[in-house]
A and B are shown apart, each in its own frame.
Chain A
Amino acid sequence: MTTTVPPAERADAGPPSLRPSALAPRRRITNRVAQVLITLALVVALVPLAWVTISVLARGFQIISWEFLTEDIPNSYRRHGPGMAPAIVGTFLITGAAALMAVPLGVFGAIYLNEYGKQKPLAQVIRTMADVMTGVPSIVMGLFIYTVVVVVTGEQTGFAGALALACLMLPIVIRSSEEILRLVPDDLRQASLALGARRWRTILTVVLPAAISGITSGALLAIARAAGETAPLVATIGITFTVNPNLFSGQNTALPAQIFRNASQPFEGAQERAWGAALTLVVIVFVFTVLARVVVSRFAIKER
């Protein structure tokens, strides 16, 4: 092991070629194949994305119309024709109510994690559990709210669905807001504290305004995700064929729930409505997602 082997005599005396063509063919081909496969992975992911989008657009536009957006849902799956207004109203009301509950609570939770808890063990536990909570299946949230709300009140309502969605949104809002709060420069906090402001005042008047665009963007993404959730609603909101603007009494419905119901029917009329509802839902989710990006790029924290 210790003897030094003299370098083998090379036929040509010049430096070795570093060009790719000088590689052993096996190595060169392996590398090329790997590069192609890696690039192909992105193309493979693009296929379902494009295919789903095209299907939803093509089939959805066949039925979508002013009547589709404003009329009640036919109470027979066999019947053709429009009507999805109760679900559209339900989606906006239920998701809106969920956001009203989850966003403020989530932002305050994030303030605790980033401004007070920091690296304390309790904050670390909450952080980890919030991550774990984002992984809890949405159907479990539905069963949970069914158990603590629907069983107790004896009624399926839009509000129960909103609670289930709020449980789903809460950890997402907490984690995204915390990421943004962490980006707020410490100088701002120190300047405010040095002027004699207490921490609550510093947080409310200096830190939050600086982070508001990022927090809004995270909240919009959470709303977009919640608007598309189906499973928590199935057990909690019931079903209605007419518009029910009251979240606290009477059963309700929402776009994802309608897509699910109608997609599992063998009847043409129901499937048409499912595609129409899917197009409506995708547009709503898309608008919120784009809005989130616009907010972030318009009002981003200024780099200093």
Chain B
Amino acid sequence: MTQEEPTRSDLTGKGGGVRIERLFSWWTLATGLLVLAILALILTTTTKQAWPAFQDMGLSFITSSTWDPNPASGNPVFGSLAFIYGTVVSSLIALLIGVPISIGIALFLTELAPRRLRGSAVMVVDMLAAIPSVVFGLWGVLVLAPLLVHVYQGIHDVFASVPVLNSIFGEPVGTGRSFMTAGVILAIMIIPIVTSISREVLSTVPQANKDAAFALGATQWEMITGAVFPHSFGGLVGAVMLGLGRAMGETIAVSLVIGGATNITPNVFAGGNSMAAVIVQQFGESTGTFTAALIGLGVVLFGLTVVINLAARLVVRRAEARVQGAAR
């Protein structure tokens, strides 16, 4: 600033809507704070509503695998370990299938794709994100699951005599509604988010690093493993964690294809249930402590996804900040 100080006659005066200015800025601040308020309210109100169930069950709410809302004798029992197990297993399957595909697409978009193909490739991912989850669920339960049974049977037969694998790939359930089917559907559903974050992360790799790798005689794949991956590893971890958060919270599609059994088994072809799916399946017929227990599942789910999302965002942000630091 080399100019002279302007005369400060009217510029800071009381006229011209100082009051409106103040009201306006407070109003925008209030709407911004709404986000924090809603998150805090979700935590407090749902925890309060779920309290009877937490009080009844204590720690066994998450360590017991007995879920019996309407027992013939006496007290209902709400142990959600089987559902936590189902959430973890179906999400892990989703990551195992979805992450390589997502990172592959992201690499294709950033490194391989010819410019004119890039637009339509991005559109494929966008359209995948636009399809409502309930439609994937409908397709999964009526079209995919009945077909997958035969695939499962084939895999089961192949591994029938291999020690550990024959319990993982056990006897498939007749309807095809299983952990595996849920995992496959979830994999499709997390592809858009993992791809778009991975793409963001991969595009921060400096061109100079890539050129340097090529100048040393690297092939394209060697350039990717030598220059791109080390640079973007942190960000990719963040992308995978965001996908995990999405997979764990997905409700409707999973509820339709996972089978609805309270089941802890290594057999991925068996039916089971997940936390989110149980809530939506049983909420309609629940009363009293049963409702409280289902809301309690929601509280656990909320806590888990918030922690995972927060960690993922911090990881991605730190990775991006490091890139900016390096560029300076």
Q: Which residues of A contact B (CB under 8 A)?
A: 23, 27-28, 30-31, 34-35, 37-42, 44-46, 48-49, 51-52, 55-56, 105-106, 108-109, 111-113, 115-117, 123, 125-126, 128-133, 135-141, 143-144, 146-148, 151, 167, 170-171, 174, 196, 198-201, 203, 224-225, 227-231, 234-235, 256, 259-260, 263-264, 271, 274-275, 278, 281-282, 285-286, 289
Which residue of B has the minimal Cβ distance to A48?
B188
With a 10 A CB-CB cut-off, give which of A28, A56, A131, A147 has the most chain B CB atoms: A147
Query: Can you add 9 more A-B contacts, CB < 8 Å, to A126-B33, A135-B242?
Result: A28-B219, A38-B112, A112-B28, A115-B28, A139-B298, A200-B20, A228-B131, A231-B276, A259-B135
Chain B residues touching A, range: 35 or more
B276 touches A137 (CB 8 A): yes
B298 touches A45 (CB 8 A): no
Which residues of A sit under 8 angstroms from B20, Cβ to Cβ? 198, 200
Measured between C-beta atoms, what is the minimum distance from A103 to chain B in Å? 11
Report the Cα distance A264→B282, complex, angstroms: 13
B305 within 8 A of partner (CB) = yes
B295 touches A147 (CB 8 A): yes
Which residues of A sit under 8 angstroms from B264, Cβ to Cβ? none
Which residues of B sit under 8 angstroms from A230, Cβ to Cβ? 132-134, 251-252
B134 touches A55 (CB 8 A): no
B139 within 8 A of partner (CB) = yes
Measured between C-beta atoms, what is the minimum distance from A248 to chain B in Å? 21
Q: Which of A46, A117, A131, A260 has a CB less than 8 Å from the CB of B313?
A: A131
The answer to whether residues A125 and B219 also contact, given A136-B42, A138-B251, A260-B137 and a CB cut-off of 8 A, is no
Which residues of B sit under 8 angstroms from A148, Cβ to Cβ? 41, 45
B128 touches A49 (CB 8 A): yes
Q: Which of B10, B25, B45 has a CB less than 8 Å from the CB of A199?
A: B25
Which residues of B sit under 8 angstroms from A49, Cβ to Cβ? 124, 127-128, 131
Which residues of B sit under 8 angstroms from A144, Cβ to Cβ? 41-42, 45-46
Report the Cα distance A188→B104, complex, angstroms: 41
With a 10 A CB-CB cut-off, give which of A28, A203, A234 has the most chain B CB atoms: A234
A132 touches B132 (CB 8 A): no
A135 touches B246 (CB 8 A): yes
B82 within 8 A of partner (CB) = no
A136 touches B305 (CB 8 A): yes
B301 within 8 A of partner (CB) = yes
A55 touches B143 (CB 8 A): yes
Which residue of A has the minimal Cβ distance to B220?
A31
Which residues of A sit under 8 angstroms from B220, Cβ to Cβ? 31, 34-35
Report the Cα distance A41→B99, complex, angstroms: 10
A137 touches B302 (CB 8 A): yes
Interfacial residues of chain B within 89-147, with CB under 8 A of chain A in the complex: 100-105, 107-108, 111-112, 121, 124-128, 130-139, 141-143
Which residues of A sit under 8 angstroms from B101, Cβ to Cβ? 41, 44-45
B325 within 8 A of partner (CB) = no
Listed by A's residue number, 19 A-B pairs whose Cβ atoms lie within 8 Å are A42-B108, A42-B121, A45-B191, A108-B28, A132-B310, A137-B248, A137-B251, A139-B298, A139-B301, A141-B42, A144-B41, A147-B45, A147-B49, A196-B11, A199-B25, A229-B132, A230-B251, A234-B280, A271-B142
